[in-house]
Amino acid sequence: MPQVLLTGASGRLGTHLRAWFAARGRAVLATDIVAPEDHGPVEIADLADSAAVDRLMAQDISAVVHFGGMSKEAGWQTVLDANIVGAYNVFEAARKAGVGRVVFASSYHVQGMYPLDATPVAIGDAYRPDSLYGVSKAFGETLSRLYFDKFGIECLAIRICTAGNPGTSREARLWCNRDDLAALVERGLDMPDLGHRTAFGISNNPNAFYVNAPDPELGWAPQHGSTELGQPDPHASLDPNDPRHLYTGGVFANWGHFDDN
């Protein structure tokens, strides 16, 4: 039976997606570099190992949900191996195996150096990454464009915003409910003629830093918003003297350069 290859399956979002897919009867081959805390069925593999990715992709895969890699800022070698080499190996293995669709977990940090007075930021606005992590996600998006234009691999790149429970008014403007995100991933898997698309993984929040243009063909709209949480209040003013509020990327934009030592 054809199955979806889910990378990053042991992480918080990967764990949510495993449960979401299981509830809907979708066959999944889950993989990660570490075992999951819930002891679910996850095959251990390093995405920086091209042979390991090729073996995964050969197991009757119909599409890929690529959520694997480093999910925050790190030193160059770590980001290179986990996010850049790993993304290349996934797309290249898909090409060789004839897998025609990838849903790619990108990040709003590809545009994290926009000042808050330039918000809301749109999908079509230029890359302004706030970190090596953001650069790696911009690489993945650009790589996906190459593999679509040259090899016909359709892709939905999702610029995921704050998918945990927001702790500040700033985060409430960036909140992405995990069910909203899972529904967007599922739409990327099931939409006929997906082509190459990019969307923000963000819920319906007031004063949002990022906005999606209407896309009736995609047929997805968030069903949740941060006002349903009560607190923190997304309408609250942000302290202009707080360095986290200078740029949309928050602390990522304020951190210095990381190294692997």
Active site residues: 133
Q: Is the dihedral of CA 146, 69, 44, 49 positive or negative?
A: positive
Q: Which residues pair with 162 in a beta bridge?
A: 175
DSSP code, position 82? I
Q: How far from 127 is each of 1, 83, 251, CA to CA, in Å?
A: 39, 17, 18
198: which 2 tokens? 């990019």
CA distance 37 to 26: 21
DSSP code, position 228? G
Helices 50-57 and 86-97, interaxial angle, to 10°?
A: 40
